[in-house]
Chain A
Amino acid sequence: MILIFMVEAIITNKRNVRDPEGETIHRFLVLRRGYNSVKGIRTGKYLLFNVEASNPDEALSKVKEICEKLRIYNPIVHDIEVRLRA
């Protein structure tokens, strides 16, 4: 049976690549209001794929393949997390 799966891809800068937007939100919004337990914020990009597949693993591996082959993320500067939407 063919089903539609929702697969998320979340792209953030690698740890050693600065993210000025996240730094600014952290420093000037969150820490200024006293939320000192927040030790860091990273911003990123979010993509939601609607994929036809016969099982969740197939949908996941299809999206992973797309992200690598079409360079949806840039491996030089980005980390990517691909996961099924809960």
Chain B
Amino acid sequence: MHKVAIIKFPGTNCDEDVLWVVKSVVGLNADIVWYKDFSLDTWDAVIIPGGFSFGDWLRAGAIAARTRAIEELSKVLDYGIPVLGICNGFQVLVEAGLLPGALLPNESGKFICRWVRVKVERPRGPWLRLVNDGDVLNMPIAHAEGRYYVDEDTYNSLIIKSPLLRYVNGYNFNGSSYDIAGVATPDGLVLGLMPHPERASEDVVAPRGFKASGKVIFESLARSLKEGW
């Protein structure tokens, strides 16, 4: 059976939620792996969950990105192993250079926790296999450093050709450039996003007016591991 690694750093706090959804809601085999014990060989997919790795000191994700676990992750592009970074996991992936851009403190300077709507563009790869172009997903954000920044050249040459999650008009609460909520490598193998799909995978947790639609990301992975992508 396929196995999903959920990497835990000191300060990671969404690992149990991700484990619950991957195992109990979607039905994949998964384990939480302490970052020092992580090696790439035994896993079919890797998720870096949210939280405050190493206390968010220096910059969110900056210290975790220089651990051996994450340096090893840079091999996934050769191995073809799907990687998902959620919230702090996304910050780790951009700090590690696995995804373009950077994540800065929110424009308001405050921690923001609320539900948003994001539109998916050019869905490709294992994490977005079951998503249609233009689909709007509802998920909560919960972060202090989620203002995505990318320069114009990188946006025009790379981002615009890659799978992308964009805050729907009126939901860009952190001031991200181009309303970007999540980015992926052009083939969609590595995906990072600020909203929390694991907190939007069961209807019971969605507030009025929102649909828990983050589950499709984990369902896409389950299908992709079975049938390819």
A21 to B108, CA, bound (A): 9
A68 to B160, CA, bound (A): 29
Task: Give the total of A residues in contact with B, Cβ under 8 Å.
Answer: 14
B58 and A18 form a contact (CB under 8 A): no
- Those of A9-36 within 8 Å (CB) of chain B: 13, 16-18, 20-21, 24
Task: Give the total of B residues in contact with A, Cβ under 8 Å.
Answer: 16
Verify if B66 is at the interface (C-beta below 8 Å from A).
yes
Verify if B171 is at the interface (C-beta below 8 Å from A).
no
B149 contact from A20, A24, A77, Cβ within 8 A: A77
A70-B66, A71-B95, A74-B95 given as contacts; is B58 within 8 A of A17 (CB)?
A: no
A77 to B58, CA, bound (A): 14
Q: With a 10 A CB-CB cut-off, give which of A16, A17, A45, A77 has the most chain B CB atoms.
A: A77
Nearest-neighbour CB distance to chain B for A45, whole angstroms, equals: 8
B109 and A20 form a contact (CB under 8 A): yes
Q: Tell me which residues across on chain A come within 8 A of B105, comparing CB atoms.
A: 20-21
Verify if A76 is at the interface (C-beta below 8 Å from B).
yes
A13 to B102, CA, bound (A): 12
What residue in chain B is nearest A21 (Cβ atoms)? B109
Nearest-neighbour CB distance to chain B for A67, whole angstroms, equals: 11
Verify if B19 is at the interface (C-beta below 8 Å from A).
no
Verify if B59 is at the interface (C-beta below 8 Å from A).
yes
Chain B 142-164, CB-CB to A under 8 Å as 1, else 0, gives: 00000001010000000000000
A76 contact from B101, B107, B108, B109, Cβ within 8 A: B101
A45 to B60, CA, bound (A): 14
- If over half of A's interface residues share one DSSP class (helix, strand or loop), that class is named, otherwise mixed; here it is loop
- Those of A38-55 within 8 Å (CB) of chain B: 45
Verify if A82 is at the interface (C-beta below 8 Å from B).
no
Verify if A72 is at the interface (C-beta below 8 Å from B).
yes
Nearest-neighbour CB distance to chain A for B59, whole angstroms, equals: 6
A76 to B107, CA, bound (A): 17
A76 and B58 form a contact (CB under 8 A): no
Chain B 56-97, CB-CB to A under 8 Å as 1, else 0, gives: 001100100110000000000000000000000000000100
A72 to B84, CA, bound (A): 24
Q: Tell me which residues across on chain A come within 8 A of B109, comparing CB atoms.
A: 20-21, 24
B95 and A18 form a contact (CB under 8 A): no
Verify if B104 is at the interface (C-beta below 8 Å from A).
yes
Chain A 72-83, CB-CB to B under 8 Å as 1, else 0, gives: 101011000000
Chain A positions near chain B (C-beta within 8 angstroms) = 13, 16-18, 20-21, 24, 45, 70-72, 74, 76-77
Chain B positions near chain A (C-beta within 8 angstroms) = 58-59, 62, 65-66, 95, 101-102, 104-105, 107-109, 149, 151, 175
Going nearest first, the 5 A-B pairs with the smallest beta carbon separation are A76-B102, A77-B102, A74-B102, A20-B107, A77-B149
Contacts A13-B104, A17-B149 known; list 10 others, CB within 8 Å.
A20-B105, A20-B107, A20-B109, A21-B105, A45-B58, A71-B66, A76-B101, A76-B149, A76-B151, A77-B102
